[in-house]
Structure 1
Amino acid sequence: MPASPASGDRLYEQACDQAIAMCDGNLRSTIKALIMANEYLELELQELRATISCGCMPNTASDAQSSAA
């Protein structure tokens, strides 16, 4: 069953509280950390897209486990 909008909001509120707590309550540091995390994820996505577009498939943990068997 899909989560209701209210429960989704609660999850976002909890995630915000956790991010702020990890930055000792400093909202500017929290925003900076989130921007940096987003930039990192965007770079990872670009690299993955480039890998896939050249016909290569990145190694995954499941690939490594199946080849070890």
Structure 2
Amino acid sequence: MSAPSSLSDNSRYEKACDQAIAMCDGNLRSTIKALIMANEYLEAELEELQAAITAGCVPAPTQAASDAA
């Protein structure tokens, strides 16, 4: 990874951390809890999608996917 990209990523992550903490009124414990909950939600979504793919179902394309094509 090149240095400029690394600096850009770090800045982006720092900004995202600041935003997450601000959304939880500066409470770091609440911020961590919210991030864990969001991660669990995304993991559950991923498991559902994997199960659907295994069963031969294809998720309906989203608007974003349609726009990208």
- Using the size of structure 2 for normalisation, the TM-score is 0.83
- Aligned residue pair count: 62
| CA RMSD in angstroms, aligned pairs only | 1.6
Question: How many angstroms apart in 1 are the aligned matches of 2:57 and 2:45?
Answer: 15
Question: How many angstroms apart in 2 are the aligned matches of 1:40 and 1:60?
Answer: 20
Gaps of 5+ in 2: none
Larger Rg: 1
- Using the size of structure 1 for normalisation, the TM-score is 0.83
Gaps of 5+ in 1: none
How far does residue 60 in structure 1 lie from its aligned partner after superposition?
Answer: 2.1
Structure 1 segments of 4 or more deviating over 6 A? none
How far does residue 4 in structure 1 lie from its aligned partner after superposition?
Answer: 1.2
Match of 2:26 in 1: 25
